[in-house]
């Protein structure tokens, strides 16, 4: 049976859509479905993966590895292949995807559509910079596009929110790795200044800061900075354990102020004063939450929002003020991330810019929405931008001001999709294709 | 695995979602694979996928359960291979019972896809396996074959026939060290059930693949997947016919 009517959501679960979904199992079945937007693992948080005005194609069963060359590290995979699966398969042979987002469940197609970044963005750039070819479905047939031969269409497809058409498969240049282990060094940062100093001076290929958004006053900006490199040392098996699942929606008190602040304090104090170095399995470093399936249920039935912005390097005081506002609000969850980004952005609508990115979760509530709207405005005022993979609350005016090249992108996209068949709730909400 | 990892598996109906999950597991264990099905392009993709995952070899052949002429090239190819040979049958088709009511001639196709085609293939393969003195046959039946029900009794009849065939084959092949295992899945989240919504005790293709491998390890004769279906079908089989005939489950 081709179509199934479902109510479905993004990872944040605060927004939902009802519509018909198809889930082709074979490329031949996809060929008949190319006039609907594609969705992947639905790991984007807001409405980028929703189409409440129509139908969508769930790409998760088109997940085959089509070719792999162990001498060059080039891999071609169908769009529904999870990025973490590529790491699992090829790390033992010395290759892993050059850029991996915070969840291994994100699909190759999704990583392209969002031009995702990883903990190594300051060194290796964004996902799209390592895509050497894309097979895009055009009029029911796959057409190969490359950065050289089809520069404009390619740049509109990378970070292009799926608007140029269904991505059938893509070829990625992976990077050499030593094995399946990561040597991870964790250090405490006592406050904002120390946190930024550690992030900016880090020489590691992989760097990420965990931020305690409940710490105030002299502790503001407190957190842990993780630096890592690939290692041939085998991780201890004690970390293995099976994956766990959150079986139901948690009640509201689970993430109450007291619980969050207590959790954060304990998490912080777990790191020894002088820092510590451990060997972790690759997936545990890159995808720390993937072991807990459905962790989004921790936020209860009504779901949550993630606010993620990037501000330019010279706007650190503004970023600090945002963190202060968040701390004062008492609305933040334990999961906040602070990262340095480099200047590389492979697509016209790519999120990354040289500077610092902050990502914070808020359980859905009117107060939280108000706060996020305030943070969105502050981001724009500071010359930064928010991440479409996370957004559900920005306004059209804000989005267009944050992404000044949107009109050029829209022109290219509207050429590829004159009927606007690939529009999603996000592109409609932000009017990204109405020139 | 009880098999030597150099074994080669012949997969009938490799494009099915369940088969794909199963061959991935075999590939990661380093087995050789002969993939058969009707979608040539998809077979090539699955072969590439399996090689990337560690299959020692992956070749593909077209097969049509309704056309015995497609069997010979596969059997000839297999006869040239060294080591043990195993075979897993995922072929089958399930048109809506209402379509069959409208056109009863569809029954021939269902029986050929789900029972007589695979049975003919296995019958031709059997001497090879006996001569090699080992290997495994995995046949996918269905809980629908355990009792004829209103909703899909033609499909159920085909699967019942196949299960009975497998039972006899097990009896014959066991004498030569070949193990035959019957697998009876309940509803599985595949293209076949997409659109029906959530079904009772539904499992995934990956779950089925895991249950098959577990069953092989324990040399089981019949495996229900999800496991709860063994109990459910025990109950359903034992409902007295005068009552059952009035039920619509």
pLDDT at A256: 72
A66 touches chain B (CB under 8 A): yes
Residues sharing a CB contact under 8 Å with residue A412, sequence separation 6 or more, in sequence order: A152, A153, A155, A156, A164, A348
pLDDT at A242: 64
Q: What is the ipTM of this complex?
A: 0.93
Comparing B214 with A256, which gets the higher pLDDT? Answer: B214
pLDDT in tens, chain A (435 residues): 689 999 999 999 999 999 999 999 999 999 999 999 999 999 999 999 999 989 999 999 999 999 999 999 999 999 999 999 999 999 999 999 999 999 999 999 999 999 999 999 999 999 999 999 999 998 888 999 999 999 999 999 999 999 999 999 999 999 999 999 999 999 999 999 999 999 999 999 999 999 999 899 999 999 999 999 999 998 875 444 567 787 777 776 667 777 777 777 777 777 777 788 999 999 999 998 898 888 888 888 899 999 999 999 999 999 999 999 999 999 988 779 999 999 999 999 999 999 999 999 999 999 999 999 999 999 999 999 999 999 999 999 999 999 999 999 999 999 999 999 999 999 999 999 998
- The alpha carbons of chain B give a radius of gyration, in whole angstroms, of 18
pLDDT at A257: 73
Residue B159 domain-assigned (yes or no): yes
Query: Which chain B residues touch A28 with a CB distance below 8 Å?
Result: 39, 41-42
pTM here is 0.94
Residue B196 domain-assigned (yes or no): yes
Number of separate domains in chain B: 1
DSSP SS3 for B31: coil
Residue of chain A whose Cα is closest to the Cα of B205: A61
Residue B249 domain-assigned (yes or no): no
Domain that holds residue B194: 8-244
Query: Which chain A residues touch B51 with a CB distance below 8 Å?
Result: 68
Residue B3 domain-assigned (yes or no): no
Q: What is the CATH number of the domain that holds B96?
A: 3.40.50.720
Say how far apart CA A24 and CA A59 lie, in whole Å: 7
Contact B194 A27 (CB under 8 A): no
pLDDT at B126: 98
pLDDT at A239: 46
Say how far apart CA B193 and CA B203 lie, in whole Å: 11
pLDDT at B89: 98
pLDDT at B6: 67
- Provide mean pLDDT across the span B163-189: 97
Cβ-count burial B4-19 (b if 16+ within 10 Å, e if not): eeebbbbbbbbbbbbb
Query: Which chain B residues touch A79 with a CB distance below 8 Å?
Result: none
Query: Given CA atoms A68, A82, A117, A434 in this order, what sign does their dihedral have?
Result: positive
Residue range B25-71, pLDDT digits in tens? 999 999 999 999 999 999 999 999 999 999 999 999 999 999 999 99
CA distance A419 to chain B (A): 27
């Amino acid at each position: 049976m081709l179509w199934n009517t479902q109510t479905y959501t993004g990872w944040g679960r605060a927004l939902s859509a009802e519509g018909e979904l198809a889930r082709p199992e074979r490329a031949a079945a996809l060929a008949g479905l190319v006039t609907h937007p594609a969705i992947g693992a639905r790991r984007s948080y807001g409405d980028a993966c929703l189409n409440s005005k129509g139908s969508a194609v769930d790409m998760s069963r088109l997940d085959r590895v089509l070719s792999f060359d162990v001498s060059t590290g080039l891999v071609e995979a169908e769009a529904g292949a999870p990025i973490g699966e590529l790491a699992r398969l090829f790390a033992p042979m010395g290759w892993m995807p050059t850029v991996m987002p915070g969840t291994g469940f994100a699909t190759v197609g999704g990583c392209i559509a969002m031009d995702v970044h990883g903990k190594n963005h300051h060194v290796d750039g964004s996902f799209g910079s390592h895509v050497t070819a894309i097979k895009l479905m055009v009029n029911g047939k796959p057409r190969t596009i490359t950065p050289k031969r089809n520069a404009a269409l390619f740049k509109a497809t990378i970070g292009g929110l799926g608007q140029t058409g269904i991505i059938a498969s893509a070829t990625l240049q992976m990077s050499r790795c030593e094995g399946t282990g990561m040597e991870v060094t964790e250090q405490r940062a006592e406050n904002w200044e120390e946190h930024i100093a550690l992030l900016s001076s880090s020489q590691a290929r992989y760097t990420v800061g965990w931020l305690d958004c409940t710490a105030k006053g002299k502790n503001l900006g407190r957190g842990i900075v993780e630096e890592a490199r690939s290692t041939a040392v085998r991780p201890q098996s004690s970390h293995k354990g099976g994956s766990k699942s959150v079986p139901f929606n948690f009640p509201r008190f689970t993430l109450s102020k007291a619980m969050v602040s207590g959790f954060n304090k304990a998490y912080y104090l777990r790191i020894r004063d002088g820092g510590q170095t451990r060997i972790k399995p690759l997936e545990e470093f890159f995808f720390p939450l993937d072991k807990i399936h459905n962790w989004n249920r921790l936020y209860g039935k009504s779901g949550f929002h993630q606010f993620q912005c990037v501000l330019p390097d010279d706007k650190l005081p503004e970023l600090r003020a945002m963190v202060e506002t968040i701390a004062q609000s008492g609305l933040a969850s334990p999961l906040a991330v602070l990262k340095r980004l480099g200047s590389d952005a492979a697509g016209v609508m790519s999120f990354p810019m040289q500077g610092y990115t902050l990502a914070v979760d808020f359980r859905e509530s009117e107060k939280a929405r108000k706060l996020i709207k305030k943070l969105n405005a502050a981001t724009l005022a500071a010359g930064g931008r928010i991440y479409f993979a996370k957004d559900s609350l920005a306004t059209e005016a804000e989005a267009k001001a944050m992404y000044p090249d949107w009109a050029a992108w829209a022109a290219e996209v509207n050429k590829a999709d004159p009927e606007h068949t690939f529009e999603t709730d996000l592109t409609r909400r932000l009017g990204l294709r109405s020139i | 695995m009880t098999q030597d990892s150099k074994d080669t598996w012949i997969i009938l109906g490799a494009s099915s979602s369940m088969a794909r999950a199963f061959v991935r597991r075999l590939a990661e264990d380093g087995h050789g694979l002969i993939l058969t099905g009707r979608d040539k392009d998809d077979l090539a993709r699955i072969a590439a996928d399996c090689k990337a995952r560690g299959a020692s070899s992956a070749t593909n052949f077209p097969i049509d359960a309704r056309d015995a002429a497609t069997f010979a090239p596969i059997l000839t190819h297999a006869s040239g291979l060294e080591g043990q040979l195993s075979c897993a049958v995922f072929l089958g088709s399930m048109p809506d019972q209402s379509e069959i009511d409208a056109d009863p001639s569809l029954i021939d196709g269902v029986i050929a896809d789900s029972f007589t085609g695979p049975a003919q293939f296995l019958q031709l393969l059997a001497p090879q396996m006996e001569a090699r003195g080992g290997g495994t046959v995995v046949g996918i039946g269905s809980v629908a074959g355990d009792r004829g029900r209103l909703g899909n009794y033609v499909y159920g009849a085909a699967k019942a026939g196949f299960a009975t065939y497998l039972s006899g084959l097990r009896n014959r092949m066991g004498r030569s060290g070949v193990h035959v295992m019957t697998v009876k899945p309940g509803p599985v989240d595949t293209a076949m059930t997409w659109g029906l919504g959530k079904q009772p005790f539904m499992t995934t293709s990956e779950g089925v693949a895991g249950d098959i491998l577990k069953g092989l390890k324990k040399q089981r004769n019949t495996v229900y997947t999800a496991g709860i279906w063994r109990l459910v079908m025990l109950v359903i089989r034992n409902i007295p016919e005068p009552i059952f005939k009035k039920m619509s489950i």
